[in-house]
Amino acid sequence: MEKVLKTKKKIRFQDCDPFNHLNNAKYLEYFINTREDQIAEHYDLDIFKYMKETGLSWVVASSQISYIRPASTMETTLIESRLIDYRDNALLVEMKMWNENETELKAILWIRFIHYNIAAKKSANHSDDLMQLFQSVVTPVDQMTFENRCLEVVQSLKSGTVV
């Protein structure tokens, strides 16, 4: 099973600012929509079907993003995502937006999701099946703070290595 999921996305005109750069708020939409598509395709996990069947879903608890280079109108980007940590009721996903050839990093995002019981309006533990899925796809990173991870990624790009 793939651990690092990659999808190409074209930056649309309506999502850009007057400088023809992707609006900073739109990065989150591109990232979250892409992650939803990726986990449905690669892990057979349709979060909307899951919500209807179980009454459980995930809510965003926090997000941290660093904008490295602008993504421009009609540019084809590559969005990658991976699970870097998980707990009984939480997930931490790292996402990166690259140019199409993965040579220029546009942005990096950490987003923490809480597993949530919609009817009870409180967090809920993941099922054993989900925990097994997470165990099979998690790719931990060395740095456990977002700022340090960003520095590590940027420095690795400057030195020609990829982390």
> What does the block give as tokens for 87?
């707990």
Give the CATH H-level superfamily of domain 5-159: Hotdog Thioesterase (3.10.129.10)
CB atoms within 10 A of CB 18: 6
Would you say residue 64 has pLDDT above 90? Answer: yes
**pLDDT grade, residue 116 (50/70/90)?**
very high
**pLDDT grade, residue 23 (50/70/90)?**
very high
Would you say residue 162 has pLDDT above 80? Answer: no
Smallest CA-to-CA distance from 91 within 32, 44, 149 is with 32
Report the b/e string of 113-140 with b at 16+ CB within 10 A: bbbbeeeeeeebebeeebeebbeebeee
Q: Model-level pTM?
A: 0.96
pLDDT value at residue 87: 99
Helix axes 47-54, 24-43, angle to 10 degrees: 70
Q: Up-side HSE of residue 145: CA atoms within 13 Å toward CB?
A: 3
CA distances 90 to 13, 24, 93, 161, Å, are: 34, 25, 10, 30
